[in-house]
Structure 1
Amino acid sequence: AEKGLAGNLISADDLEESLTGYLRSIVDSNARGMAKVMIEQLRTRNFILCYMGADYYAFVHRTFLEYFCAWEFVWQFEKERSLSLDELKTEVFGQHWQDESWHEVLRLIVGMIETKWAGEVIDYLMTLEGEAEEFMEFINLFLAAKCLSDVRNRSVLRETATRLLKQLKGLTNYDLDYYYESYGKEASIVRHIRRQAVAAVAATWQDEPDTLPWLKQLTTSDDDEDVRRAAVEGLAYGWKNEPDTLPWLKQLATSDDDDVRCAAVRELARGWKDEPDTLPLLKQCATSDEYWLVRSGAVRELARGWKDEPDTLPLLKQCATSDDDGYVRSTAVEELARGWKDEPDTLLLLKQRATSDDHYHVRREAVGELARSWKDEPDTLPWLKQLATSDEDWLVLSAAVRELARGWKDEPDTLPWLKQLATSNDNEYLRCVAAEELARGWKDEPDTLPILKQLATSDDNSDVRSTAVQELARGWKDEPDTLPFLKQLATSDDILNVQGAAVRELARGWKDEPDTLPLLKQLATSDNNWYVRTPAVEELARGWQDEPGIFELLCNIAVNHPFEREKNWQINPRQTALEIIIKQYPAYPQTLPLLQDRAENDPDEKVREFAQKKLAKWS
């Protein structure tokens, strides 16, 4: 239908007409009556179709829809010859490889057609440009691997399989060729690609003799924790019935590598739940492992896999109140709220954790669970309002305000209360959060934009002003006043991190404006303060990597920026520029001599140490 595979609906008239048309081709009479009987049979006896109301039918299981769709293409390609190989590649696979709802259909097609044609389709998928698809990076290669696993006779496609395997193994070391923050969106994309690559190799080449040793090597020697964890997961899933897998996982669960232990404990809990040693091992990990993330993971697995065990609830209560680490207590609080909501002690325990735990993360988690799971309790709203203005930790205050704004958005008091917090409260953290929630939940309210402008220019706290700047730039990008307003802040505001926030928003939201690049260059080279120069340098590298003169500008900053360290935590723009050059321009002939020079001659000891470490890894 018009919506493709998303539309699993057909009108009763169209369904009857479709079946009648087919039946007329094989019987002489009463095709329509037979079609009606057939529909009833498919609905009430075979449970292939279901009646959706409003005179519409659908497949009970999406698998039928996908199978018939795939078979139709195969029929056109192999039987009718109305679809050529090039059309199959470009009009079927080329049109739908980016849409994950089509992937099962595409895999079914590859599994149905002759192997040599399947190889051509997989070769075609490998030629597509998948790297540019945000949050679906290299989906063409991952789809190609899944298609390869469905080929009837893979031995015929040895060359194609080898090339694909090499590309996927390369993706386990994938990185972006520009500077990015360690915990931002780009870092998440990189981790996702690496994990997917490991999983694809483990699943598609499971029968290859080299795959198991390769995965084992990754678990112990790869520098990336996400790759190590993905290797453990791939091994546990793909080699579950191998006699060595369980002992090996047990060994990993007690190894020296914290991240590998986490993954091994999780896989043991999910894949070997009925093994007599698994529950005791989880209990031991939950209560006595030295690494908080292992304890937290074991608590989660116990709560979800052994809910009915008599020891589980007491153990969770103990962890929620007594574990030395706040994140472990937080996990236990979350699991108690979700799995034991009706236990008489749970609500009391959460309220106690929300108000008296000495770790902000526990209090914040307890606040969130109370707001979501006990929303209809009459005491919850007044309790949250009180907490939102009385807790000593800003993260807990933030959590309470967010839960109120999102869970009680339609309460008549919520909007006036948020406005008051944003403009009049003495706590700068509350003003920040209230501004964010107003911008995101009440964008169309006439007072919201004026409040944000007021906060961005007049609030006496720089964090509140920066928050208002960010929300204005992202929510009111098309307002005619927004761009001039940001330019003014980026060049003349007297608060440095407000300037920095304006610089970042200009670079990311108005990249194609003719004034943006010259402005960033000016700020990167001429602004008096590192707090403004640093984001300007980073954004130039991020958005204009291939622009003529950017490399030379970065080299100039790396050598000549006048930064002098006053405090240990300050970021030296010379180091920022040097780090970007190493990452983005490693093959340039000037890069290595520049790094050697900075390792010997930079006046900042921290920059010299940074350059020396990079030199040691240069080869």
Structure 2
Amino acid sequence: MLDWFAAWGVYSVTGFVFRDVLMPLAKGTLEDYTKDFLKDCIRDFSGRFEDNTLNTVVGKALKEFLELVQQELEDAEVSQVEVEEYSPALTKFIHNSSVKGILGSGFQDECSSLDTQGLGNLWYQLNLRSLPEDFDWEQVGKRYLRKVKALIRESPELREILDSQKLEAIARYTQESAGIIPEFDLRRYQEGLREAYGNLRLDSLDTTGCAYNALKLWRIFIAQNVRKVHEVLPQVYELPKEHQQRSREKDQLDSEFQFGELDRYQRVYSEAPIQSVLDVINDKQNYPYLVILGDPGSGKSTLLQYLALIYAQSPLQNAISLAIPILIELRTYMRNRDLGQCQNFLEFLHQSSGAICHLNQHQLQEQLKAGNVLMLFDGLDEVFDPGKREDVITDIHRFTNEYPDVQVIVTSRVIGYKPQRLRDGEFHHFLLQELDEKQIQDFIYRWHELTFTDEVDKTWKRERLQRAIDTSKAVRELAGNPLLLTMMAILNRNQELPRDRPELYHQASRVLLHQWDVERALIEDSRLDPKTIDYKDKQAMLRRVAYFMQATDQGLAGNLIRREDLEQILTEYLRTIDVNQARLVARVLIRQLRERNFILCYLGADYYGFVHRTFLEYFCAGEFIWQFKETQRLSLEGLKTEVFGKHWRDESWHEVLRLIVGMIEESRFAGEIIEYLMNQEGEDEKFMNVFLAAQCLEEVKNRREIEATDKRLMDCLKKLQDYVKIEYSYRRNIISWEVSGKAVTAIAITWKQDPDTLPLLKQLIQSDDNGGVQCAAIRELARGWKDEPWLFELLYNCAINDPFKRENDWEDNPRQIALERIIKLYPNHPKTLTLLHDRAENDTDEKVRKFAQKKLKQFTQNH
């Protein structure tokens, strides 16, 4: 027997302490170890051991690996004695079959990185001695790979063996292309899944130039909720989001959208329980076949990719016990089927281009018959041709009949989906729900933890985005869509939401309108010539649509347009850009804006509306700005009198008016509009003009340029703050109380950064006898200064001390408002429970006592 220690160079390494680790190999198990180590690199070991080349190289590779581990331990300041104590753990580690496979993969010609995450997971799973916190497996892997490449260069015999393997691989590829069966390599399949789906795809969203290559999908993924759909009628789920929200809040549809049986279907759907989509998928016994429906950008494809990555991220010895996920993008499958590359799903996976990794269809069939596969079909709606879509459904039916024990999941957009055939195949249908408040918070936290390194910047940006969603109803509506929430997170790096929300709406509409182009739809219609109609054209058309809608009898509040009017507006625009057969193209566009772009929805009775009211308001404001800046059909005076003067009394217009101010680049023009609003007589409207002026001031990016206007508005609001006192002699009613409270709120929000604002709010709490003023000040302190260490004591004092007598039943009690905020912000504070007990028993106001008793009961149940 050779002196393997000498052959491996172990004697020459000063301080090397792992001889006990390598000793068992040198005493007779080396040949078997080498076969396991290089099994993925060398197919045939017969006749390869006469010159001991492979044994020598494997021993040298192990020596290099162990030496790197030792160096990493020493760099982590582990003492020499402690380093030696790792020998038993390393002995067990290098004899693990998965570890051998990972280390041996470094000898593969195409290997550019080692599975260091797998090494780290295996060390943990084998329950070995804990490594130092800053032990870096990735660093070990990089250095080890360089050492392996050097070993290959230094050994002519090894190079000859590996080169022969390349020739064999070429021969196998040639045979495979002629119909010879490929291998069933699950490790390589895992790697292919990680490469294909591991990173979050943000190319179409990221307009900032930032790189997110390290942002892994499985770390950012949020499991959404679903509701079961008993009757898949798109009209039931196609209502504008604002009406859906109202329906949930009131448990009824708005009267103008009740269309007979649709109302009943909507009620049945809304009563279905909400479940986690992962819980539904894991319930294979009850739901072997699933269709997951959702809006564009709702996360359907991401869900399937995440399911595949669960398998890909598992160590191979664990993954063997899991169902093998097979994810097929149906659009790619049908394209290859049309080209004659495959006739069914197994052939697609066996030899067709577009498959993640070619898998031996005979071995795959064995797994399918055993039910050890999770079949994922993504994007049924992406197969546009109705006839081909029917062919795909037939293939899915054939697949489930042939492999009844395999769980199958299909995804599709809900609009345009026809459920009958898959329902006949016992598929259960579930609709993805929008992200709820907790899920949005979870996403925002994870995003900033994973994409920011500076702690201060991370916290500030995270809180800014969360605050924008909490305070802006329009921004919150969009945040429920995962695609648009991701867009917000990207823009939040450099944009201040909600003030810069016009840029958010522009980018969001760009993504929705650009991702799914109209050219392909035109090509599919043989009557029409292909014409590039980009997202800018679509935005221009939608500006005209929104502008038309605001001038109708229902106005912006209605969010309604007749098909005839919509078609005419699009036709007229298309003619201006020389589109042939403009009316036919307009009809194609309407269908695409509804089914693909998620901008318009069909309301029945030949009416359409914007899915998100936000886009109606944005495009309407954009048209006024276009007329003001580009075509100059609208002067500043006309903007003031014909737009603001005509609509400031209508709250459904307020967001449009605010957006107009935010989209005007010249601060002086914005200042003139704000001055115009302040000069209106608004007492009969509870000074709505002044409060709107304050909201518009928030939209101005450079307020220093209109400093005089800024100050005048502040003075005006301070007078309204005392409105209840001024009007007390003849206006003892809720209106004066409400105006005073709103004035305090406006000051706190619009001038939060002003150094005088915080002292003013504290003073009002302590000395103002107007309950509306006190309540507003408490609310704004809790909202704007919630992280300040002094806030709890201030709220605590407000909850127990109130020197003023409260005579009006309709007034909010400041003690109750303070108590509400304490429960929300400080549920775990040691004084909170004691305070609740005290107020429940001792408060002089019966309403406050009952409120405290109710909250105390809930608090006790939850804690």
Tell me which interval the TM-score lies in, with the shorter structure as reference length.
Answer: 0.3 to 0.5
TM-score normalized by the length of structure 1: 0.45
Instruction: Name the larger-Rg structure.
Output: 2
TM-score normalized by the length of structure 2: 0.33
The structure with higher relative contact order (CA 8 Å, sep 6+) is 2
Greater fraction of residues in helix: 1
